[in-house]
């Protein structure tokens, strides 16, 4: 039977070793992934690979910025935007909103609205705005719908779109004013004693043997040239779901997506509103030709969509950003993030020649 003194000794030893483990892993890995003063990308938080981190300080220095609906007081709106995290400045860092580049470069009033997930999908959201009369009240010249590439088929290649959704205008406006986009992980405060220290140690060991450390949602592969300014400029981090998305692309789905966007574009044209569709090219798709022995397949989404007849304008982010990478621009995407950087936002907005005609 174990003695009291021996039990106390073993407990103290166990707690000491546990504390040593947490302090060590925290100081080697975790504190760099969850810092208090910097913004770390989603892939950095998934992988714990500190040599691929791109610490950023959130800052906007552009002359004119977009507004959200809760800031709108009935003034003229030129361009209405809606989309996922790319439209919400999720990458952080310098000038995280592409909308601010539009507002500044073309002197346009740009308003971003949230998607009411429980009320409508992306297409139905615009129909809801139109049917409820709020679109007439905002009266934009253009609408930009943005979506990350790996979600476009799920969001737009769908049947049975409800084009008759409607809410009382004051209720809809209030719902949109109250709607806030948030990513709880962006400002996470993590104590040095936590359960993620185990993942930090485990993943940093297992990535030596497997591209996604067997269980991580972040894959890491090798590039044949330096394309990032992190300590490990030859590694590409990308999200696991991209692989499943690449396998799901079919010509029928892309055609259905195009048909649905055309139907919405024709309806908007009757109101004098131009529809722009901006699929945000997936990171591994954009960098694929620089991957050493690429075994992940290739997305054909943009290649299939380009030749199709469109009533809307396609903002071809893949073609635009490929040119930037090919001419040697570093950090078009952040090394530790699924989101592009301010360099990409600037390049994309500069390509919008139509907006030059709207400059005031």
Domain boundaries, the chain: 1-360
Average pLDDT, the chain: 90
- For 147, list phi and psi in degrees, rounded to 5: -155, 140
- For the stretch 327-342, pLDDT in tens is 999 999 999 999 999 9
List the alpha helices (DSSP H) in the chain: 4-25, 31-33, 42-47, 98-106, 122-132, 134-138, 152-156, 169-178, 196-206, 241-248, 251-269, 283-286, 301-305, 317-326, 342-350
Q: Is the pLDDT of residue 27 over 60?
A: yes
Structure tokens given for 332: 């078009």
Q: Are strands 218-222 and 274-280 parallel, antiparallel or unpaired?
A: unpaired
Q: Are 306 and 174 in contact (CB under 8 A)?
A: no
Q: Are 235 and 220 in contact (CB under 8 A)?
A: yes
CA–centroid distance for 271 within its chain: 30
**How far, in Å, are 78, 116, 254 from residue 170 at the CA level?**
21, 15, 36
Distance from C-alpha of 40 to C-alpha of 24, rounded to nearest angstrom? 21
Any idea what the Cα angle at residue 41 is, between residues 40 and 47, rounded to 5°?
100
Per DSSP, the three-state class of 319 is helix
Q: Are 355 and 98 in contact (CB under 8 A)?
A: no
> Of all residues in the chain, what percent carry a pLDDT higher than 70?
93
Per DSSP, the three-state class of 280 is strand
- For the stretch 243-272, pLDDT in tens is 888 888 999 999 999 999 999 999 999 999
pLDDT band with cut points at 50, 70 and 90 for residue 291? very high
* Lowest-confidence pick of 31-35, 98-102, 316-320: 31-35
Structure tokens given for 30: 């975790």
Count of other CB atoms within 10 angstroms of residue 223: 16
Partners of 313 in beta bridges = 276
> Of all residues in the chain, what percent carry a pLDDT higher than 90?
73
The conformational region for residue 139 under phi > 0 = left, psi -120 to 50 = alpha, else beta, is left
Distance from C-alpha of 77 to C-alpha of 303, rounded to nearest angstrom? 33
- Give the predicted TM-score (pTM) of the model: 0.92
């Amino acid at each position: 039977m174990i003695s009291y003194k021996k039990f106390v000794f073993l407990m103290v030893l166990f707690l000491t070793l546990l504390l040593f483990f947490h302090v060590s892993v925290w100081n080697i890995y975790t504190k760099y992934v969850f810092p208090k003063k910097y913004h770390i990308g989603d892939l950095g938080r998934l992988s714990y690979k500190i040599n691929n981190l791109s610490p950023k300080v959130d800052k906007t220095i552009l002359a004119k910025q977009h507004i959200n609906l809760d800031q709108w007081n009935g003034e003229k709106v030129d361009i209405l935007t809606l989309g996922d995290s790319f439209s919400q400045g999720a990458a952080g860092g310098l000038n995280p909103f592409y909308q601010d580049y539009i507002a500044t470069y073309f002197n346009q009033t740009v308003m971003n609205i949230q998607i009411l997930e429980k009320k409508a999908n992306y297409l139905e959201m615009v129909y809801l705005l139109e049917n409820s009369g709020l679109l007439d009240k905002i009266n934009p010249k253009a609408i930009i719908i943005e979506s990350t590439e790996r979600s476009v088929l799920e969001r737009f290649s769908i049947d049975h779109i409800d084009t008759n959704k409607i809410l009382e205008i004051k209720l809809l406006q209030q719902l949109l004013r109250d709607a806030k986009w948030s990513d709880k992980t962006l400002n996470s405060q993590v104590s040095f004693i936590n359960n993620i220290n185990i993942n930090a140690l485990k993943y940093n060991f297992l990535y030596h043997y497997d591209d996604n450390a067997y269980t991580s949602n972040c894959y890491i592969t090798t590039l044949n040239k330096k394309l990032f300014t992190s300590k490990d400029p030859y590694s590409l981090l990308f999200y696991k779901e991209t692989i499943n998305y690449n396998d799901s692309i079919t010509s029928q789905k892309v055609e259905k997506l195009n048909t649905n966007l055309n139907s919405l574009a024709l309806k908007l044209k009757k109101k004098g509103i131009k529809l722009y569709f901006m699929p945000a090219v997936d990171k591994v798709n954009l960098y694929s030709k620089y991957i050493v022995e690429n075994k992940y397949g290739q997305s054909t989404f943009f290649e299939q969509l380009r030749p199709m007849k469109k009533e809307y304008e396609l903002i071809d982010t893949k073609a635009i950003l490929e040119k930037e990478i090919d001419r040697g621009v570093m950090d078009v995407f952040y090394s530790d993030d699924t989101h592009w950087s301010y360099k990409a936002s600037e390049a994309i907005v500069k390509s919008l020649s139509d907006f030059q005609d709207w400059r005031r």
